[in-house]
Amino acid sequence: MADRSRPQAKIPAELYGLEDVTSEVMSRREVIRRGGAVAAAAAVFPADFAERLERISSQDDVIPWTNAPPAGGRANTLDWQALDSWVTPTEQLFSVGHYGTPELDGEAWRLEIAGMVDRPMTLTLDDIRSRPQQDVTMLLECAGNRGFATFMGAVHNAKWTGIPLAPLLREAGIHDGGVEIVFFGADTGTETLLHRDDIEVDQQFARSLSLEDAMRDNVLLAWAVNGESLPIGNGYPLRLIAPGWYGVANVKWLTRIEVRDTRFMGKFMARDYVTLRQEGSDEDGVWAETSVGRTNINSIPANVVRTDGGYRINGAAWGKPIDRVEVSIDGGEWQPVALGEGADDPYTWTFWHLEWAASPGAHTVTSRAISTDGEIQPTTDDPVMVQKITYWESYGSVVREITIPDQ
């Protein structure tokens, strides 16, 4: 029988340190009109939001959204309205855990490479750091980002330093028939078996990649971010970095890499982080389940700032190689924006902006990204979004609301 004192897997709201305030978000604009932005924030959002909104509002060039949820919480989510750096500062990196945060001693820590290999390996952190290193700048997004009305900042763009995984696996010698690479973290907890709640088992967090995906030359075993040792919440002493995949695939606190000849069906591959979507009509449709994997095309208006000539809408797009971004004001025609930093990198976010001659009063601002292969970010009422009943992979266009003050 497992020790009940060990961490249990967290349900979504607990995972992100959030409470459901969806019903309150819609009333905030009215409160702002009646009593001011800071009073509204204090009335309907967690305690720290009033302080943040007061700070934003005190910056003469930033106009706050009137329907924006708060940033912060245990997940340390991004404050979009304060976004001003293409590389996210280390202290602003979001962190999500499933069985809590393990306490690891870097000196005593070891990484095993085992399973279907000719030469099993046990490596220290110094062993890994002594190998040729590589840097990868990439965007990392939680698969649950925007799955809740109060949770839309679990994303960041950072520079990771480590060693490429592929040479290490080649050195270990993968057996013929090895098709799946499983990555185990040090975070462990207990799980109750389905239909047998009297049986508990120890569970180690794990995710897998196909051999083909794991051998890509930009997949790293990383020990540093933005030139600093990994913070404990972001995977110290070593984590997987897999560009183009949702955060859950980038396993933190690595302790074991195992080569297998069958698909890995652990909890976080086959039971959790699974998107359920109806395919077809209500009459003849079927429900399809897919494991959360590669990131989807996404964009968001980040903030609106005053300029000498009017206003500028700033935002970011990511998830797929970005060809262009378009913005709709007040539900009008889509208009192109100017792309900025990151436009030539398929694995980072792309900053964008649009000069806006806004009139005083209430407005809506919506963005959509279009990939280089022609994929268009869907609206929230698109069937691909409407027919999805799980919170994972919520990437429909965001409709921001804003009130431009009288001059």
pLDDT confidence of residue 4: 40
Contact predicate 86/351, CB 8 Å: yes
Indicate if the pLDDT at residue 209 is higher than 90: yes
Closest to 377 measured CA to CA, from 307, 320, 303: 320
Structural domains in the chain?
A: 22-68 (no CATH), 111-263 (3.90.420.10), 273-407 (2.60.40.650)
Q: pLDDT: is 51 or 226 the higher one?
A: 226
The verdict on pTM exceeding 0.75 is yes
Report the C-alpha gap between 142 and 156 in whole angstroms.
Answer: 9
Indicate if the pLDDT at residue 387 is higher than 80: yes
Report the C-alpha gap between 377 and 371 in whole angstroms.
Answer: 8
Indicate if the pLDDT at residue 48 is higher than 80: no
What is the arithmetic mean of pLDDT over 35-47?
A: 37
CB atoms within 10 A of CB 3: 8
Indicate if the pLDDT at residue 49 is higher than 60: no
Indicate if the pLDDT at residue 400 is higher than 60: yes
pLDDT confidence of residue 310: 94
pLDDT one-digit tens code per residue, 114-151: 999 999 999 999 999 999 999 999 999 999 888 876 67
Closest to 302 measured CA to CA, from 292, 288, 317, 290: 317
Q: Percent of the chain at pLDDT above 70?
A: 83
pLDDT one-digit tens code per residue, 307-348: 998 999 999 999 999 999 999 999 999 999 999 999 999 999
Mean pLDDT, the chain, rounded, equals 84
Report the C-alpha gap between 213 and 15 in whole angstroms.
Answer: 28
pLDDT one-digit tens code per residue, 336-385: 999 999 999 999 999 999 999 999 999 999 999 999 999 999 998 888 88
